[in-house]
Amino acid sequence: MKFVNNNFSKEVERLIDPITVGSLHFMQYFNQLLPKSLQKRIVKSSSKKTPNMGFVVEPYSSFLCYEIDDLEYAKSLIPDGFELLKTSIFTDDEPKYYCILGCVRAHTSAFWGSRIEFYVIAKDKKTNLLSWLIIDYDTNTISYDNKNGLSSPNSNRAVITVNHRGRLFVDVQNNANDRKLIFDADIEEGSMTNLDQRLWLEGNLSIGYGRKLSEKDGDIFSLKFEPCEVEKALRIPLDSLNLEVNTWYPGLFKNKPCQIVCFPYSQHFISDSPGFSSNIKNNVKLPLSWTPCLS
């Protein structure tokens, strides 16, 4: 049996104030009227006072992992300082070039809601770190990236939930009606399986943005977390997936996912705030404040 120190999880939750988040959502509609240059100065100034924020991914986040079919297309989506990198999803599967659709509900110090993020997995040539590069996203809550500044929700239809029978439902369509992902899967058929640690542990130290969302060098940020929260997850059998429609980046990846991952518990992170980067290098050891699993 494994035991963990629960103080980290509780401290992350304490960083998140629903009233403050609600105020940020309200103010965002006014802030986005400001020039992007002024938005960036405000965000940069705020990050100096508050360089980190609480970030909680709620239970039953899911990840559809697709093998990339058009490598040249994928290369065109990532910044020049990165190169595509093969990875495994679990410890026992064959490495492939992957793009991943992450479907989460999250509450953080800055936003609260549902979000689909589309990643391409690559290596940062400067640090040699495996990196999750956010190519695009659809969400029913506010967002910020360096290239586009503050953004309003772009999806009024963003359902991510689980019912009492253990059926996971994802039904997200953006307001422009040019992109949708609708599927359901039986999480009760999943089995806890060891995750590839370079992808899930190292990768969370180096999260960035693709060409569409970044100004330079991928705008990398990092997460601090308990490593045991990415040690295992449910491997959902492919035959339990009912994929109704996926219109994200047609032609980039194969028709069906290779792996489906679901985390049946909350994940607690301390994230770099927008405008701040920890600049973690490949030779940096895990911070001592991270509490390891005790066996």
Distances (CA, A) of 234 to 64, 185, 191, 285: 12, 12, 5, 28
Domain assignment present for residue 280? The answer is no
Domain assignment present for residue 181? The answer is yes
Domain assignment present for residue 104? The answer is yes
- pLDDT confidence of residue 289: 38
Task: Enter the tokens of residue 7.
Answer: 């103080």
More confident residue, 189 or 34: 189
Q: How many CB atoms lie within 10 A of CB 22?
A: 11
Domain assignment present for residue 192? The answer is yes
- pLDDT confidence of residue 291: 44
- pLDDT confidence of residue 294: 42
Domain assignment present for residue 290? The answer is no
% of the chain surpassing 70 pLDDT: 83
Q: What is the pLDDT of residues 193-252, one digit of tens each?
A: 999 999 999 999 999 999 999 877 788 989 999 999 999 999 999 999 999 999 999 999
- pLDDT confidence of residue 295: 36
Lowest mean pLDDT, pick from 19-28, 85-94, 179-188, 280-289: 280-289
Alpha helix segments (H runs only) across the chain: 7-14, 18-31, 36-49, 71-77, 197-200
Domain count along the chain: 1
Q: What is the pLDDT of residues 137-157, one digit of tens each?
A: 999 998 888 787 778 899 999
Domain assignment present for residue 293? The answer is no
Domain assignment present for residue 124? The answer is yes
- pLDDT confidence of residue 217: 79
Domain assignment present for residue 289? The answer is no
Q: What is the pLDDT of residues 32-90, one digit of tens each?
A: 666 767 666 655 656 556 667 899 999 999 999 999 999 999 999 999 999 999 999 99
- pLDDT confidence of residue 18: 85
Residue type for 198, please?
R
Is the pLDDT at 283 greater than 50? The verdict is no
CATH number for position 206: 2.40.400.10
Domain of 26 in residue numbering reads as: 7-272
